[in-house]
Amino acid sequence: MMKILQITAYYPPSLGGIQTFVQRLSQYLAERGHQVDVLTVNTDHAPAQEAGTSGIRITRTPLDLNLYRAVFSRSFAQKLMSASGYDVYHIHIPFHVGLETAVLAARRNRTPLVATHHGQGLRGSLLYTMMAHTYSWFSQNISLRGVDVPVFLTPSYAHSLNLPAVVQQRMQIVRTGAEVQQFSAGGMGTAIRQTYNIPASDPLILFVGYLGKSNRYKGIDYLLKAFVSVRQQSANARLLIVGGGDWLPELQTLAERLEIADQVIFAGPVENGRLPDYYAAADLFVLPSISGPENSPVVLFEAMASAKPVVATTIPGVVDIVKHEETGLLVPPKDVPQLAAAITRIVQDKDFRQRAGRYARQHTEQYTWKHCAQQMEQIYQARAMNKPMVGTLS
């Protein structure tokens, strides 16, 4: 048994891909007999201390500052610096200043440090974007040198970063996981269609994701513009957008200006346990990201496990997951006409839609949380062999 500290800026009940990744990984590691603690920042007024499933212990520290979802907490830094007796630290980035704090804590407490890089998609004002790019350069070229094992989720994403040679020599690729059984079992799609008054014969296009202004790189505005053309070819098509955030009012206004508000449903945030129903209701899933890189979006695996074809963009990370003309279609980012054409093709071509959906489900069978946890476990053991298993998070 190992004693593992998972370090993350966000954790459920906060919703998002990183949150899901850390939670599922922690659960599977705990089920394999390891003691897993989670140290995070309290962004959702959740309990400061919580005993999660499978014996996971969660510590949430008070939030001092949230700047475009880059969170800062003095108490977090203090607790991390005093977190002794662990066999391994595992930090999930991007986590502004959190990575640097983890490097210092690992040195102070002589604890191996693993870092999984989930992406770098945050966007904001011009000033913030410049600051974020500066920090990204620093973290990738300086901070990651202090990490024992940098982990990336897709090869194309790792190669897109132009990492220093010393980081490339240490890095490992670990494919993200998905609750394949949960989604492949099918959900209550009929109930979702009834809830939103969508006839069974109407093509339903789905997007799932956080709709914060910091996530403008998700490209939902381009999806709305493309949907105008889709409606011209398939008048009964509907667009269902799942997710909440401070970008939502602006997107709703755009839908009204494009005169598609009656055909676009903004469902708001949905709990993870209900997502299989939404995927089951849809005919296809769209991820129109314009930059990132996205790395390895969990929603892609969820959609594909649900046997839904995917329309996505040719950005690093995504191109390793979606197989063009097999599990879906890939289009250039920001290309509204091609995005619309790809969606329209899947909507109108039932044979291709069903075939791509079957291939998508088969493709996800190799991407399970169990397999992901086993790979991480091997990395931990290689770095933490013969480490003492005493101490706690104080």
Q: What pLDDT, on the 0 to 100 scale, is given for residue 128?
A: 63
Q: What pLDDT, on the 0 to 100 scale, is given for residue 391?
A: 40
The average confidence (pLDDT) of the chain is 90
Decide: 225 and 192 in contact? Cβ < 8 Å. no
Checking if the pLDDT of 292 tops 80, the result is no
Mean pLDDT check: name the lowest of 52-56, 189-193, 316-320, 327-331: 52-56
Residue 104 CA to residue 106 CA, distance in Å, equals 5
Interval 235-261: pLDDT, tens: 999 999 999 999 999 999 999 999 999
Which pTM value belongs to this model? 0.81
Decide: 43 and 63 in contact? Cβ < 8 Å. yes
Question: Is 3-177+368-384 in CATH node 3.40.50.300?
Answer: no
Residue 379 CA to residue 29 CA, distance in Å, equals 12
CATH code of domain 180-364: 3.40.50.2000
* H or E element in which residue 352 lies: helix 350-364
Q: Which two tokens stand for residue 300?
A: 């892609």
> Could you tell me the pLDDT band of residue 123, with boundaries at 50, 70 and 90?
low
Q: What pLDDT, on the 0 to 100 scale, is given for residue 17?
A: 82
In angstroms, the Cα distances linking 261 to 153, 229, 257, 258, 338 are 36, 14, 8, 8, 22
Checking if the pLDDT of 14 tops 80, the result is yes
Q: What pLDDT, on the 0 to 100 scale, is given for residue 246?
A: 92
Checking if the pLDDT of 374 tops 60, the result is yes
Q: What pLDDT, on the 0 to 100 scale, is given for residue 54?
A: 78
Checking if the pLDDT of 337 tops 90, the result is yes
Domain with CATH 3.40.50.2000 in the chain: 3-177+368-384, 180-364
Checking if the pLDDT of 69 tops 90, the result is no
> Of all residues in the chain, what percent carry a pLDDT higher than 90?
68
Interval 130-155: pLDDT, tens: 777 787 788 888 999 999 999 999 99
Residue 35 CA to residue 47 CA, distance in Å, equals 20
Interval 160-191: pLDDT, tens: 888 999 999 999 999 887 777 788 767 789 99
What CA dihedral angle connects 203, 209, 213 and 215, to 10 degrees?
-110
Cis-peptide, bond into residue 13, ω within 30° of zero? yes
